[in-house]
């Protein structure tokens, strides 16, 4: 006996939500036969469903009046609420509507690597504004390669070189290949003549590092030739390195694609030592993969990065 009561309470705690659709149709039709036709059920099956609804709600819902049925006060009270619940359920289960960019109101947060905003930001903002004026882009700095902001939903998109610290579930798409080049001010001695490894190493250099390191691939390539460059300052961003080089005789070594706009009016040259190229990628969390607006923005980022050389 005790076990039967426990099963009954368990069933009552988790009602059959399919009954909502049946109740909605019954209350709209006011007829067992009419509801059966709409739901393509037999009258006897619909009568059994009404019996279940009466048991579940504790109310007759529809009662005999002459030859027809009339709703009880409880049924009248429930009619609009049930209709709205059924409509909301249909909206939840319906495929996403076609994206209307002109009506889209949304802010996307992008965590980007050094130089991305300065070089690709203007074109990306212009394209977003032309297609979806209600969309706002929020660019935030990328101090590390921690994937938590993407995983926690703080960031919508991220750009950078994929490292071992990236969460394995993240979606990744390559944007472009990049390489380091040398940059000096116009009129710098390196603007003329052949730049040899020894001549390059003999200059005074700016080094980029977020962690304060003072050696990288360029230094390893020089060391293989028995050379060492003189690092006179360390900065935390490529724009800062280029600003210093523009106003002095210092030499900056920066990524070519990431700094295209920033190097305007300066002299750029191929490094006299071989350094590995690297791939800059776009990263996002899988929960946003199918989102139409997010997919549209990803496409814009890819197009802008492919178009700006």
- pLDDT tens digits, 119-155: 899 999 999 999 999 999 999 988 777 778 888 889 9
Per the DSSP assignment, residues forming a β-bridge with 111 are 140, 158
Average pLDDT, stretch 224-247? 94
pLDDT at residue number 23? 87
Contacts of 14 (CB under 8 A, 6+ apart): none
Q: What are phi and psi of 180, to 5 degrees?
A: -85, 140
pLDDT at residue number 1? 41
Q: Which of 33-37, 183-187, 207-211, 216-220 has the lowest mean pLDDT?
A: 207-211
307 in helix, strand or coil?
Answer: helix
Question: What confidence tier does 282 reach under pLDDT thresholds 50, 70, 90?
Answer: very high
pTM (two decimals): 0.67
pLDDT at residue number 5? 46
Q: In CATH terms, are 101-178+279-307 and 180-276 the same topology? A: yes
Q: Is the pLDDT of residue 190 over 90?
A: yes
Average pLDDT, stretch 58-87? 85
pLDDT at residue number 67? 78
User: Is there a contact between 302 and 123 (Cβ–Cβ < 8 Å)?
Assistant: no
- pLDDT tens digits, 81-115: 888 888 877 767 766 668 899 999 999 999 997 78
pLDDT at residue number 186? 95
pLDDT at residue number 10? 43
> Pick the residue with more confidence: 8 or 51?
51
Which region holds residue 40: left if phi is over 0, alpha if psi is between -120 and 50, else beta?
left
pLDDT at residue number 142? 81
pLDDT at residue number 180? 95
Average predicted confidence (pLDDT) for the chain: 87
> Pick the residue with more confidence: 64 or 251?
251
> Pick the residue with more confidence: 298 or 170?
298
- pLDDT tens digits, 194-233: 999 999 999 999 998 877 677 889 999 999 999 999 999 9
How many Å apart are CA 159 and CA 161, to the nearest integer? Answer: 7
pLDDT at residue number 309? 59
How many Å apart are CA 235 and CA 206, to the nearest integer? Answer: 7
pLDDT at residue number 157? 95
Q: Is the pLDDT of residue 266 over 80?
A: yes
Domain boundaries, the chain: 2-93, 101-178+279-307, 180-276
Name the fold adopted by 2-93. Arc Repressor Mutant, subunit A (1.10.10)
Question: What confidence tier does 191 reach under pLDDT thresholds 50, 70, 90?
Answer: very high
Q: Which of 66-70, 241-245, 273-277 has the lowest mean pLDDT?
A: 66-70
Per the DSSP assignment, residues forming a β-bridge with 235 are 208
Domain 180-276: give its CATH architecture.
3-Layer(aba) Sandwich (3.40)
Burial class (CB in 10 A: 0-12, 13-18, 19+), 213: exposed
Q: Is the pLDDT of residue 164 over 70?
A: no
**CATH annotation of 101-178+279-307:** 3.40.190.10
């Amino acid at each position: 006996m005790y076990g039967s009561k426990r099963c009954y309470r368990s069933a009552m705690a988790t009602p059959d939500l399919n009954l909502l659709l049946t109740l909605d149709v019954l209350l709209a039709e006011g007829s067992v036969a009419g509801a059966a036709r709409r739901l393509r059920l037999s009258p006897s099956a619909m009568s059994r469903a009404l019996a279940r609804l009466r048991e579940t709600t504790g109310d007759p819902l529809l009662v005999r009046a002459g030859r027809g049925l009339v709703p009880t006060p409880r049924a009248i009270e429930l009619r609009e609420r049930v209709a709205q619940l059924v409509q909301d359920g249909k909206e939840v289960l319906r495929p996403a509507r076609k994206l209307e960019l002109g009506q889209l109101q949304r802010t996307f947060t992008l965590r980007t690597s050094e130089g991305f905003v300065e070089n690709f930001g203007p074109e990306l903002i212009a394209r977003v504004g032309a297609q979806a004026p209600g969309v706002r882009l929020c660019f935030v700095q990328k101090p590390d390669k921690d994937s938590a902001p993407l995983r926690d939903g703080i960031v919508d998109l991220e750009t950078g070189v994929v490292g071992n610290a990236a969460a394995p579930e993240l979606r990744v798409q390559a944007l472009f290949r990049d390489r380091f080049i040398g940059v000096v001010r116009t009129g710098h001695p390196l603007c003329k003549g052949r730049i040899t490894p020894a001549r390059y190493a003999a200059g005074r250099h700016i080094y980029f590092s977020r962690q304060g390191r003072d050696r990288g691939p360029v230094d390893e390539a020089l060391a293989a030739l028995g050379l060492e460059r003189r690092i006179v300052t360390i900065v935390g961003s490529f724009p800062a390195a280029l600003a210093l080089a523009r106003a002095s005789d210092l030499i900056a070594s920066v990524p070519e694609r990431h700094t295209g706009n920033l190097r305007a009016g300066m002299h750029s040259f191929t490094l006299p030592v071989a350094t590995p190229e690297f791939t800059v990628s776009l990263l996002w969390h899988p929960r946003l993969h199918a989102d139409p607006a997010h997919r549209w923005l990803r496409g814009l980022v890819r197009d802008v990065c492919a178009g700006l050389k």
